Amino acid sequence: MTEAVRNCSGLWPAIPHTTLSQDGNDSAVAATVRSRTPALRGTARSFTHWQRPRIPVLGPKQPGYAWLAQHYRWALDRVFLEQGHSHVVIVEDDMVFSPDFLTLFNETAWLLDADPTIWCISSWFRTSYFPGLGWMLRARLWRELSPHWPDEHWDHWMRMESVARGRDCVSPELNRNKNIGEVGANMDASLYRRWLGHMDWAEPGRAGLPKAGAGAGASASRARNPRALAPPRPGQTVLITYGVEQYQRLAQRLHIWKSPRGHYRHASAIPWKGGTVLLADARECDLLPPELRWEPTPGWTVHLAAPNVSCTAACRAVGLACSTVDLHFINTCPGLQNHMSCPAGCGLDWGQDLPHVTGDPARTKCFVTQQIPTCRGAGTGSRRVCPCVAPEKLSASARAALRIGDKAVGVRDRRPQLQVQADAAHLAVLP
């Protein structure tokens, strides 16, 4: 925290109001704040140090991410609802900042008022997997979020379609802050070194951005034959469509995170050797032309399983088969709510029995997962939502999905679905 506070006090232009919100009354943290108070007061119109009473909402053994969510709500309620600020920039105690960090927010704050499709300004690079790493929101948004704010996993909650409602964050091409916390509620040293420690940012003394390579933006093409695919030329963009069940294999070859984190409307641009590899989810990316999109199996039906019954068993009981290809179409809140009544809303959960619903009909709540769903899992107290197809259509649906995928990745052989999908994902990137 010492480095974050020191770095923050040197930012320009001057910060109108600075509040340091401390979760609890740790004396070492309070002493650090006191030692930096003169510097902070010298660069801000006002400086306030708060200490939140550390009372666990979920019990004395609640995890770190629960403390974070509860602290966020307490602090944001105070700055917006009690103090009446119009905009707030939120940073955490393990960050350092670019010299133009505040300039970014000063120059873009008006967008939050001008465009209802924008709900935050982020100093972290493009991501629709909500960043939470140096961001600005306005009071109107907080008045919408505060009554429904969760007691844990606040950032996962904000990433849900039912919360974001299609709104986006404006972000820079190059990060305007750097995360320096090797250990935290959701981080350890090995993860930090692999994914964050070497991440580029607009560090002090670095002027501007590197110039684009010759011919930047001059061409774009689809990867039709991954066996013969060569590295993209400088400025070239290569499009690869994928199913979410293939993404992890793609990520391993491209050395990126195992689930999509930097996408815009389910299209991710990956800079690579002077060119760009564009990865697009064939089910979810509405930017793709119709001929490249995957659609549900014709004639599929959605069935609600009994408690503790898997989708495999639920579909078999009505003479049908569970389709893993179609399971992904209902593993989103909008997709699930197209088929189920969810009067208590839609949430995010983890486990092998998702998507599912819980509660009686009057208080049913729907749940989806960011994991890869399967037909096999079953859970006590929940009822699985299952895509069922006629058994004779099961292999046909797999072949249909594969044929659509072939238009993007160029796989020509007709091996069984799972093997071919794995090979397609494996071959669709370069060594």
pLDDT in tens, the chain (431 residues): 566 666 666 665 566 788 888 998 888 888 888 887 777 676 667 788 889 999 999 998 899 889 999 999 999 999 999 999 999 999 887 788 888 888 889 899 999 999 999 999 998 876 666 767 889 999 999 999 999 999 998 988 888 888 988 898 888 888 888 876 655 655 566 765 666 666 676 776 654 444 433 333 334 445 444 433 456 778 888 899 999 888 888 888 888 878 887 788 889 888 888 888 899 999 999 999 999 999 999 999 999 999 999 999 999 999 999 999 999 999 999 999 999 998 988 888 889 999 999 988 778 899 999 889 999 999 888 999 999 999 888 755 444 443 443 333 322 222 222 222 223 332 233 22
Q: Which CATH superfamily is domain 2-196 in?
A: Spore Coat Polysaccharide Biosynthesis Protein SpsA; Chain A (3.90.550.10)
- Give 324-348 pLDDT, tens digit per residue: 999 999 999 999 999 999 898 888 8
Residue intervals in the chain for CATH 3.90.550.10: 2-196
Rounded to an integer, what distance in angstroms lies between the CA atom of residue 240 and that of residue 410?
Answer: 10
pTM above 0.75, yes or no: no
